[in-house]
A and B are shown apart, each in its own frame.
Chain A
Amino acid sequence: MTAQTSRNGRKASARALIAAGLAIAVAVPAVAHHSFSVFDMTTQKELEGDVVEFQWTNPHTFLWIDVKGADGKTTKWGLEGMSPNFLGRRGWTKHTFNPGDHLKVVIAPLKSGEPGGTLMRATLSDGTEMVNFGRGPGA
């Protein structure tokens, strides 16, 4: 267990379990295109920011969001998602996220520390939760 999860107690343990479940769930898409070796699939990171662009493209959708840090500096994050054929059959469209939408997202971050990751789920300001992979609404 990482220091991050042990600090947060029971909730974090539940999250670790969810993360483990997701790691299994992503095994199938990994076969289609790439391994998840660049992402830290054992960590879930939460971010809040505004949509710059949602790219409805193959082999992955990409969600770009501006995230304001504690220092007031804005960083653009690139978040890889499942492909349009996969998501389109699960209720997503190219309009699921629009520029300017305020989002809370949960991601598995890049191991490199660059501002990017693989998107797990996103919550829109009206409370709608879109699950990129794993179980739940929009999955």
Chain B
Amino acid sequence: MRFDRSTIFVGVAACAAALGAQAQSPQAARSPQGDTYESIAKLPDWSGLWEPAGGGGGGARPTQPELTPPYAAKAAEYRAKQQSGEIQDGPAANCVPNGMPSVMTQPYPLEILFTPGKVTIVIEAYSQWRQIFTDGRKHPEDPDLTFNGHSIGHWEGDTLVVDTVGFTTDTALGNMAMKHSDKMHIVERMKLVEGDRLQIETTIDDKEALAKPWVSTRLYGRHRDWTLSEYVCQQNNRNYTTEDGKAGINLKHGDE
């Protein structure tokens, strides 16, 4: 039997489809996946902007991660330097964005957009975005290491399940004292809950940095009448942190 290119392609596609079906739960297979505009119409209405902390301070109290001994030691050392004033601030003062997971909990809103095969989270803080592929693709075998990682997702009923890998170690777990490794893996379960809120349950595992998976749940309040604002941090940033962590402010104004 002679195999031409199209036969091979069909074979590979069939294998990929079989693998994809295996990876998802039976419920996921039945749920609309937002792969076409008709399918998107069956997804829950997540329109409007979502403000962290429930949009009025009612957000769930975040839990603290349990670090492995080497990462706990690094965190203790960093905190001691903060206490003594040796480290006064971190890279964010120089307009370096926080990366995942903190990018999801900045005090500014998010907007979540559905297009066929993709969910896009627009993050007002530092004018950023995350793209979550819902077209059944897998993570790259050797992903580039980025601030917000590589995300794939699928719908289990009304819950969007997002799986993200591929993080640069330039970022941290919530504050600069607690670092993560490039093995960090984040699963987010997003769904609407009572009170017109979006709930995101975030599970972070990192065999190098975390003694056990860190699970935290946060609520976001909906503002249907808000629109996104631009946030170009470099526009008039007068704050700075030096290489060794000293903070300062630039008060030069006009032609002085």
Binding site for B on A (CB under 8 A): 28-29, 31-35, 37-38, 52-53, 55, 57-60, 62, 64, 76, 78, 80, 83-86, 88-89, 110, 114-116
Q: Number of contacts between A and B (CB, 8 Å)?
A: 89
Sampled A-B contacts (16; CB under 8 Å): A28-B107, A33-B95, A34-B93, A35-B90, A37-B85, A37-B88, A37-B247, A38-B248, A55-B236, A58-B235, A78-B251, A80-B249, A85-B108, A85-B230, A88-B229, A116-B251
Q: Contact at A58–B236, with CB atoms within 8 Å?
A: yes
Number of chain B residues whose Cβ lies closer than 8 Å to a Cβ of chain A: 33
**SS class, residues of chain A in contact with chain B:** mixed
Specify the chain B residue showing the minimal Cβ separation from A115. Answer: B251
Q: Contact at B249–A116, with CB atoms within 8 Å?
A: yes
Query: Which single member of A28, A64, A76, A85 contacts B124 (CB below 8 Å)?
Result: A85
Query: Which single member of A29, A38, A53, A59 contacts B247 (CB below 8 Å)?
Result: A38
| Neighbouring B residues of A29 by C-beta, 8 Å | 107
| Neighbouring A residues of B106 by C-beta, 8 Å | 31-32
Q: Contact at B108–A34, with CB atoms within 8 Å?
A: no
Specify the chain B residue showing the minimal Cβ separation from A37. Answer: B88
Separation in Å of the B107 CB from the closest CB of chain A? 5
Among A35, A84, A89, find the residue whose CB has the most chain B CB atoms closer than 10 A: A35
